[in-house]
Amino acid sequence: MPDTSHRTDVRLAAGGEESADGVQRWTYFRLREKPESAWFAMAIALLLLLLVVGTTGRWYLGVLSVGAAVLILWRFLLPVTYELDAQGVRESVGGITRRLMWRQVRRVEQIDTAFVLFPYARNNLLARIGAIYLPCKSREAVVQNMIETHAPWSAIWQS
């Protein structure tokens, strides 16, 4: 974990909120932040539809395959709200909330302007499924400060 002996108090940048109880809260909508993702998703859905209809000759199987793809990728198609507090991280998507307590964090990775919090120390499929991805473009220093303050010191830090 990085040296935190010279930590400074960083205020939350615009685009998020900080409540009186120290909760950091913001919403990230991938399709708004990266509009090329929306075009890519639509192109993949159209190609999947054409591929399935072309190989099977049945249009309803193409529609079912696109529906299955949407069910798998629904978290990337909806706005995600993140909350960081002294207890842990909360991720809310479409009315479904996941919570990862700070004491459960075993590994932290920094990828560009995002952090990935893993509940397992190893990098495997199970760890990726249980991980929470925190995109924090304009509030990177605040999120890093929260992670360094609250995550267990035994957590592995990778950048």
> How confident is the model over 105-143, as pLDDT tens digits?
999 998 888 899 998 888 788 888 888 999 988 888 888
Residue 47 makes CB contacts below 8 A (sequence gap 6+) with none
Torsion angle of the four alpha carbons 33, 39, 45, 50, in this order, in degrees rounded to the nearest 10: -170
What's the domain range around 52? 33-75
Domain ends where: 8, 41, 75? Answer: 75
Amino acid residing at 116: V
Task: Please tell me the total number of residues recorded for the chain in this structure.
Answer: 159
**pLDDT reading at 72 higher than 70:** yes
Domain ends where: 43, 60, 75? Answer: 75
More confident residue, 15 or 29: 29
3-state secondary structure of 82: strand
Same domain, 65 and 100: no
Same domain, 62 and 135: no
Query: Pairing mode, if any, of strands 107-111 and 156-158?
Result: parallel
Same domain, 117 and 44: no
pLDDT computed for residue 75 by the predictor: 72
Same domain, 98 and 41: no
Q: What angle (nearest 5°) sits at the alpha carbon of residue 113, between those of residues 37 and 140? A: 135
Residue 12 counted as domain residue:
no
Residue 96 counted as domain residue:
yes
**pLDDT reading at 87 higher than 80:** yes
